[in-house]
Amino acid sequence: MAIPAMVIVAWKASSVYIFWIGVHYVSANVYPYFCADATIMGLLTSPILVMTPHCRALLWAQQTSSLVIQNMWIIIGTWLCSEILSTKQIM
């Protein structure tokens, strides 16, 4: 059974964004566990942990993935607007 060409093109176009959505989800949920625990001890250790390499990496992953997702929506919105505005009706 052959996979339709449109499905392959859609997968290639969206796989990068799916990756970044996954990175954002994981980093946003792991950061509080490792770097900002919701306990008194977490409050006391947070100023020290914030500068550790793994916390910096998780913060970078959160910020970068947020920017990629934001740009994804801008690209999708721009493409949709161009598709809507470029349709010419024959009268």
Q: Is the pTM of this model over 0.85?
A: no
| Domain range summary for the chain, segments of one domain joined by + | 17-84
Alpha-carbon torsion 17, 23, 26, 29, what sign?
negative
Pair 57, 37: CB distance under 8 Å: no
pLDDT-derived band of residue 90, with 50, 70 and 90 as boundaries?
A: low
Q: Which two tokens stand for residue 3?
A: 């996979």
Integer Cα distance of 40 and 36 in angstroms = 10
At a CB cut-off of 8 Å and minimum separation 6, what does 30 contact?
Answer: 58
- Model confidence over 25-82: pLDDT tens digits? 999 999 999 988 888 888 888 888 889 999 999 999 999 999 999 999 998 899 888 8
